[in-house]
Amino acid sequence: MRFDSPRTILQGAGSRHQLHTYIEYSKKILIVTDSYLASSGILPKLDNAIIFSGVQPDPTDTNVAEGFDLATNHHADTIIAMGGGSPIDCAKAIRHRLGKAQLIAIPTTAGTGSEATPVMVITDETAGVKRMTRDHSLLPDVAIVDHELSATMPRPLTAHVGVDTLTHGMEAYVSQKRHNLSNSMAVHCIERCHKYLRRAWLNGNDMEAREGMAIAALEGGLAFGNSSVALVHGMSRPLGALFHIPHGLSNAVLLAEVTRFSFEGAEHLYNEIAAFLHLKPGLNNLIQYLENLNRDLEVPRLRDCCNNDLDLFNQLIPKMAHDALASGSPANNPRVPTAEQIEAIYRAAW
């Protein structure tokens, strides 16, 4: 068993103000972010930093190349990633190509947990595929989890990344790569989602709930970064690549149907998850919970994310099933599906 995490994790309101401690010896810094955050005025103001704000949602290999050129020309020895999963993943790829540079991740959405994982997802534009890479060198050195940064997340984003967080906890817990320490993180991630997700969605200024979800996201990242994600994430990436559904939402629309399929592969583990969610055991209770959660948080249906274009969806199902299997994530699922079974789950989730 092995458990990896950032060297340092700062957590708490205002912890972002301790950033300077970790860049004391940095000569040149590249801040990787998106255009929204760049214009928001919350980026750290540093004399020796330049800003790369060209990261798009679902970062591409082109974004990475651009950021890498900037970092090289600037001789950056520190990369600060600030934003949701997209800037953080892009920064991981840039640091990976640079070789030696310190990576500090400051998440502004409570969701992906990317600040604490050795995993990134970068879209290969030529192939039309979202590629997941896992490598120890991708793990950020420092993660600064300051939930004050997530307080302005709008309701839909809170819902989508929140259900993604729950998905991380559940998938890590049932994964074939589960182990004792990843389980500890997964259990607390799931329990915190149960306690805080609805509250954070109902009232974005409920700072106790925002903090709860920020910690849940961190725990979810530590859980699946050391265990793995599974079939939900395997099936969601093709939806992101082909229909441009954001990461969190693409998982949220699949979670219930994938759980229905996977349950028989690890009944006792899913029943434990039901208990963490204060439910009685049984598939139906768990499915009901997940469906109610999506309904209450106003998560759209898959069909709404695909412009209700069933013909196009059906046409792309074989490619999506193929790409899902090729990603490797379904092999970690407690019940390993065939391509035909994945196709059936896509149809059921529609």
Which is nearest to 198 in space by CA: 297, 120, 287? 297
Residue 89 binds Fe ion (CB under 5 A): no
Residue 164 binds Fe ion (CB under 5 A): yes
Stretch that binds Fe ion, among 162-170, 210-218, 277-285, 323-331 (CB under 5 A): 162-170
- Nearer to Fe ion by Cβ, of 29 and 130: the residue is 130
User: Shortest distance, CB of residue 156 to Fe ion, whole angstroms?
Assistant: 16
- Nearer to Fe ion by Cβ, of 58 and 164: the residue is 164
- Nearer to Fe ion by Cβ, of 144 and 230: the residue is 230
- Nearer to Fe ion by Cβ, of 217 and 266: the residue is 217
Strand order of the β-sheet with 78-83 is 8-11, 142-145, 102-107, 78-83, 29-32, 49-52
Stretch that binds Fe ion, among 131-139, 159-167, 193-201, 256-264 (CB under 5 A): 159-167
Q: Please spell the DSSP secondary structure of 59-114, one letter per residue.
A: -BHHHHHHHHHHHHHHT-SEEEEEESHHHHHHHHHHHHHH-S-EEEEEESSSS--G
Stretch that binds Fe ion, among 68-76, 141-149, 164-172, 269-277 (CB under 5 A): 164-172
- What is the signed CA dihedral for 284, 288, 294, 298, rounded to 10 degrees? 150
User: Shortest distance, CB of residue 249 to Fe ion, whole angstroms?
Assistant: 11
Spell out where 108-232 has E strands: 119-124, 129-134, 142-145
- Nearer to Fe ion by Cβ, of 164 and 257: the residue is 164
User: Shortest distance, CB of residue 60 to Fe ion, whole angstroms?
Assistant: 18
- Nearer to Fe ion by Cβ, of 164 and 323: the residue is 164
User: Shortest distance, CB of residue 298 to Fe ion, whole angstroms?
Assistant: 19
C-alpha angle 341/262/249, rounded to 5°?
Answer: 85
- Determine the residue type at 232: V
User: Shortest distance, CB of residue 233 to Fe ion, whole angstroms?
Assistant: 6
Distance CA 222, CA 3 (A): 8
- Nearer to Fe ion by Cβ, of 164 and 343: the residue is 164
Distance CA 115, CA 5 (A): 9
Helix 339-349, helix 255-262: angle, nearest 10: 140
Distance CA 261, CA 57 (A): 30
Residue 115 binds Fe ion (CB under 5 A): no
Q: CB burial class (10 A; 0-12, 13-18, 19+) of residue 126? A: exposed
Closest CB to Fe ion: residue number: 164
Number of residues located near Fe ion, criterion CB under 5 A: 1
Distance CA 37, CA 34 (A): 6
Cβ-contact 203, 152 below 8 angstroms: no
Stretch that binds Fe ion, among 131-139, 163-171, 186-194, 211-219 (CB under 5 A): 163-171
- Nearer to Fe ion by Cβ, of 29 and 162: the residue is 162
Q: Which residues contribute to the site for Fe ion (CB under 5 A)? A: 164
